[in-house]
Structure 1
Amino acid sequence: MSTDKPTPAPESKDTGFTPGDDGWTRWRNVFSLMMGRMSHEGKSQYLKARDDRMEETDCKNCEKWRDQCLSYSPVVRFMREKINQLGGDIHSQNVRCRRCPTLQTGGFDPRFGIQICANAVRTKGALEDTLAHEMVHAYDHLRFKVDRNNLRHAACTEIRASTLSGECRWTREFFTRGQWKLTEQHQECVRRRATLSVAGRPYCRDDVQAAKAVNEVWESCYADTRPFDEIYR
Structure 2
Amino acid sequence: MEDTSKRQANGQNDISANPDLSGLEWWKRNLKYRLGLTTDEKEKQKFEHDYRIKQLPKQCTTCEEGLDWMLKYSPSVIFMMDHVKKQGGNINRSNIKCDVCDDLKGGGFNPDLGILLCSNWIRDKWHLEDILTHELVHAYDYLKFNVDYNNLKHHACTEIRASMLSGECRIWNEIKKTGFGGFGKKFQSCIKRRAILSVAANPRCSGAEEAEKVVESVFQSCFNDTRPFERVYR
Structure 1 length normalisation: TM-score?
0.78
- Root-mean-square deviation (CA, aligned residues, Å) is 2.7
Identity of aligned residues (%): 43
Q: After the TM superposition, which residues 64-213 of structure 1 pair with which residues of structure 2 at under 5 Å, given as runs?
A: 64-175=65-176, 177-180=177-180, 181-213=182-214
Distance (Å, rounded) in 1 between the aligned partners of 2:106 and 2:171: 19
Distance (Å, rounded) in 2 between the aligned partners of 1:46 and 1:160: 36
Structure 2 segments unaligned to the other structure (5+ residues): 1-15, 31-45
Partner of 2:226: 225
1:51-82 CA-partner distances (Å, limit 9, x unpaired)? 54422211111111111111101000000110
1:27 to 23, 26, 29: 23
2:52–2:120 contact (8 Å) kept in structure 1:
no
Distance (Å, rounded) in 2 between the aligned partners of 1:63 and 1:83: 21
Higher relative contact order (CA 8 A, sep 6+): 2
Shift of residue 32, structure 1, vs aligned partner:
11
Distance (Å, rounded) in 2 between the aligned partners of 1:152 and 1:160: 12
Question: Does the residue aligned with 1:93 lie in a helix, a strand or coil?
Answer: helix
Change over 3 Å in CA distance of 1:225–1:47 after alignment to 2: closer
Which structure has the larger Rg?
Answer: 1
Question: Does the residue aligned with 2:184 lie in a helix, a strand or coil?
Answer: coil
Please tell me the residue identity of whatever aligns with 2:173: R
1:165–1:232 contact (8 Å) kept in structure 2:
no
Shift of residue 174, structure 1, vs aligned partner:
1.6
Distance (Å, rounded) in 1 between the aligned partners of 2:48 and 2:169: 35
Please tell me the residue identity of whatever aligns with 1:178: T
Please tell me the residue identity of whatever aligns with 2:150: N
1:163–1:222 contact (8 Å) kept in structure 2:
yes
Shift of residue 50, structure 1, vs aligned partner:
6.0
Deviates more, 1:138-147 or 1:184-193: 184-193
1:134-176 CA-partner distances (Å, limit 9, x unpaired)? 100000001010011000000000000011111111111122x
Partner of 2:11: none
Paired residues in the alignment total 203
The structure with the greater share of residues assigned to helix is 2
Shift of residue 101, structure 1, vs aligned partner:
1.3
Structure 2 length normalisation: TM-score?
0.78
Shift of residue 46, structure 1, vs aligned partner:
10
Distance (Å, rounded) in 2 between the aligned partners of 1:139 and 1:200: 21
Structure 1 segments unaligned to the other structure (5+ residues): 1-18, 35-44
Question: Does the residue aligned with 1:184 lie in a helix, a strand or coil?
Answer: helix
